[in-house]
Chains A and B, each alone.
Chain A
Amino acid sequence: MQALLVFLAIAALSLLASSPALDPGRFPALARLAAGGFLFLLFGVVLGPSMVGVLSPEDLQLMRPVMALGLGTAGVILGLNLEPRLLRLLPRPVYAAALAHSGTAFLFVAVPLVVPLVLTSRPSVVAAVGAASLLGAAASLSSGHFAVLAYRGGRMDRARGLGVALLTMLDDALGLAVLAVALVLGAGSNPGEGLGLVCLAMLLGVLCGALLAFLTHAMNDLAELTTVTLGMVALVGGAAAYLRVSALLAGVACGATLALVGGRTVERVARALGRVERPVFLVVVFLVGSGLYTRDWAAWALVPGFVGLRFLGKVVGGRLTQRLARGVLELPPRVGYALIAQGGLALCLVAEYEFLVPGTLARRVLDVVVVGAVVNELLAGPAFRQVLPPPPPREPPASAGVGVAT
């Protein structure tokens, strides 16, 4: 019955998100949250065990298969974006620029926050380092949706909009790499076992990706192609959840393998997955939100630090990025302000970490990132306006006394 409630709540929210009640002119912040899916995150927090309690911790446990499916899907979509031909074409300074803004934000958040994490929870140093690096990884990620919307709306030129979007796509790699390292440190009883589990996830993904490429090779029926794609996404996420390894990393390996060996099929598979991307994303953010534990005061105390340091890291990293990408990538001035929106991958990273690394520290990381994601999304709008050119001054209206020749 709870599952039914969840789906009905999501359906109601989907209707709300597309309703004229959320007119950007009337409630811009709320409309932005709805458009980015973060309204679902808030709704999950409200319905979760910590607040209204419509969903109990047992219900969330029962929803784990759905979460595994969501993480697997997110991973495969990310992996499919790793198009080898395109990646080879990118010059080195672009990689350096992406690393600059994400790496700076990572260091600005991870290094200072390791201290309060050790002091407030007294875990082993390795666990605190793992948790702090996950916070840093979440901070390093940015979403390019503001830039894309701006160039589509004609408020930013196309080259600059795409430049920002490219940077935000490349920073996903750092986030995923840190997740892998954090899992090596925390998912097993020792780093050796942790490494084995990460390798198992990748191997599983590679096998599934290669098999998906073979299964869909020369498949012409669209319904069959969609069925096989969705089945394989469920299989890779499900197998990872069953083996208790990372569904996200397995999905990425699956998608990347398919992108490498899939040939012409890749585009059709990506299109099939594109149809379920939005609903899956909304369900995932809803479930991540409902997992928030609101009574952890230490987590609340960390949120200002997380948001503030990330902001600072992005601004400073943006300057570095601009310097490194000069002449190669066209970027707007003060590009750091365009990188404040956080995006959904950060939520996937911390959700995965909380699944696989037991303990209160992983939950605290999730709490901080969930609240931080909402705050960053609210900050992102005003921050993005800083990088847009000022609107052209309006022509003064013609005075009544001026005659017009006819």
Chain B
Amino acid sequence: MKGAVVRLLLLVGLLAIISRAQVLREDAGTPVTLAAGALLLCGLFAGKVAKGLGLPRLTGYLLVGVAVGPYALGFIPGEGVKGLDLVKGLAVSLIALVAGTELRLGLIRRVGARVALLCAAVCGVTFTVCLAATFALKPVLPFLAPMTWQQALAVSALVSTVVVSFSPTVTIAIVQETSAKGSFTEFLMALVIIGDLFVMVAFALAAGLTRASFGGGLDVTGLLSGVGWELFGSVVVGGVLALVMLLYMRGVKQELPLFLVGLSFAAAEGGTRLHLSPLLVSLAAGALIANLDEREGERIHHAIQRAGLPVFALFFAAAGAGLKLDALMTVGPAALLLVVLRGLAIWFACRRFAPADDPRLKQYLWMGLISQAGVTFGLAALVSRTFPTFGPQVEVLIVAMITAHELVGPVLTRRALTASGEVRTDEAQATA
């Protein structure tokens, strides 16, 4: 670990020199490639340091991103971090593709109904608690204060749907890192994925209601077709991608990792442009392949796992660099209250509604549901764009919450997996 610390410090030193040298120039060139290289390298070595300290590598990626990013030391300019959105989309697609290959029909038959019921319960309880809390904070929150109570209720519902969302990316990354396997891990992964499907539908409905409360009129047909397109359109496009992948894997058989990266990139960019969910597109593609041809599903899984190290390091370090620490300062108390209430709601819902046949679910499942990342970021940005009058302030609140969740979520997720006894690497011993 000492070697990793020294290497990390040297890298940060080099970044400090580069940022000092830039001050001597009158204007700067593009910082995107610098951000990519620096975050990849710093993330990699910070992951090693975190592992040495008994923390998930992912926490190391996130923390070093925060440290060298524009809101702390400022060695990586904000423009550079923003330019990595393309990479983030790619990473989410790749991660979802791997997650999809885990969704076998047998698993869905075995735990599908129980997961869906628990998911509805957890999302319902969390949503109710957050809705009540946000609405109660109306006099304190600047964007809610001037609204009528109907408007405030609609906006609170919108905020609460976003706040409920989980993070499949963090969960999958931690599962990959620890090589966890078993019924608890399957349950957790299925729950975070289905939870995000619930959130997508709820968000579309809440956005429609909010628009109506601000005089936009309630367009039920538009609302349903929008939700339908996002869900079913994504699955159909995912199906087409799955067929393309199968044809390639059976016909060409070469350069599979490169091909998968290209296709995931296309899914991420194309999906966003077509108003589909890139996460769902890749998830559906992975699930279809795994169920149509188990052997090819395994090949995809291994090919992406080989490319996983740089993808995860860059994705989460960039996510860390994008966390707005100043937002945490301005709306900190309200965000912190919501973070605590969300955590309590998830804990209560799991204790109360998780299946009794496996006591680990009641005890540890809640810890795996705390993280928030890509999907929540995306929904917050969507609120900001759709409702320019109050959306940017809502985004600040949600990003502040994400910051808190990102810092504790990965640690809790790994603790849940370790406590469940399904972690297969030597890390289980290291953290036990």
Contacts and interface: CB of A to CB of B under 8 A. Distances in A.
Instruction: Please say whether chains A and B are actual partners in one complex.
Output: yes
A359 interface: no
The secondary-structure label for the interface of chain A is helix
Interface string B2-15: 00000100110010
Given A227-B40, A227-B309, A231-B40, A244 B25 contact: yes
Nearest to B48: A224
Interface stretch (A164-172, A200-208, A282-290, A384-392): A200-208
A224 B309 contact: yes
Nearest to A70: B33
Interface string A347-382: 000000000000000000000000000000000000
B41 A223 contact: no
A239 B40 contact: no
Q: Which of B25, B32, B86 has the most CB of A within 10 A?
A: B32
B269 A233 contact: no
A235 B309 contact: no
The 9 closest A-B pairs by CB, nearest first: A238-B33, A234-B37, A235-B37, A238-B34, A65-B32, A231-B40, A231-B41, A4-B269, A65-B33
A241 B29 CA distance: 6
Interface residues of B, number: 40
Contact of A1 (B21, B29, B37, B273): B273
Contact of A242 (B28, B86, B262, B309): B28
Contacts of A223: 306, 309
Contacts of B389: none
B36 interface: yes
B359 interface: no
A233 B77 CA distance: 19
20 contacts: A1-B273, A4-B269, A4-B270, A7-B262, A8-B266, A65-B32, A68-B30, A69-B36, A211-B14, A215-B7, A230-B40, A232-B37, A234-B37, A241-B29, A242-B28, A242-B77, A243-B25, A243-B28, A244-B27, A244-B28
Contacts of A68: 29-30, 33
B203 interface: no
Contacts of B309: 223-224, 227
B33 A241 contact: yes
A11 B270 CA distance: 16
A212 to B, nearest CB: 10
B266 A231 contact: no
A64 interface: yes
Contacts of A8: 262, 266
B33 A69 contact: yes
Q: Which of A8, A11, A65, A241 has the most CB of B within 10 A?
A: A65
A235 B25 contact: no
Contacts of A208: 14
A11 B260 CA distance: 12
Q: What size tier do the contact residues of chain A reach?
A: 35 or more
Interface string B66-94: 00000000000100100100100000000
B163 to A, nearest CB: 31
B192 interface: no
B88 to A, nearest CB: 14
A4 B44 CA distance: 27
A223 B17 CA distance: 28
B44 A238 contact: no
A1 B258 CA distance: 20
Contacts of B115: none
B31 interface: yes
B172 interface: no
Contacts of A204: 18, 21
Contacts of B30: 64-65, 68, 241-242
Contacts of B262: 7-8, 11
Contacts of B28: 242-244
A343 to B, nearest CB: 24
A208 B86 CA distance: 26
Contacts of B45: 215
Nearest to A72: B33
B64 to A, nearest CB: 13
B261 to A, nearest CB: 10
B185 to A, nearest CB: 23
Contacts of B330: none
B38 interface: yes
B10 A211 contact: yes
B313 interface: yes
Contacts of A239: 18, 34, 37
A345 to B, nearest CB: 20
Nearest to B26: A244
Nearest to A227: B310
A235 B7 CA distance: 15
B35 interface: yes
Contacts of B37: 231-239
A111 interface: no
B184 interface: no
A3 B32 CA distance: 14
A3 B80 CA distance: 17
Contact of B29 (A233, A236, A243): A243
A1 B34 CA distance: 22
A286 to B, nearest CB: 15
B183 interface: no
Contact of B22 (A4, A231, A243): A243
Nearest to A237: B33
Contacts of A7: 262, 265-266
B316 to A, nearest CB: 14
Contacts of A72: 33
A208 B13 CA distance: 11
Nearest to A65: B32
B259 to A, nearest CB: 8
B272 to A, nearest CB: 9
A223 to B, nearest CB: 5
Interface string B253-279: 000001000100110011001000000
Interface in B99-148: none
Given A4-B269, A7-B265, A223-B309, A232 B33 contact: no
Given A231-B41, A238-B37, A242-B34, 8 more contacts: A3-B269, A65-B33, A65-B36, A211-B10, A223-B306, A232-B41, A235-B37, A242-B30
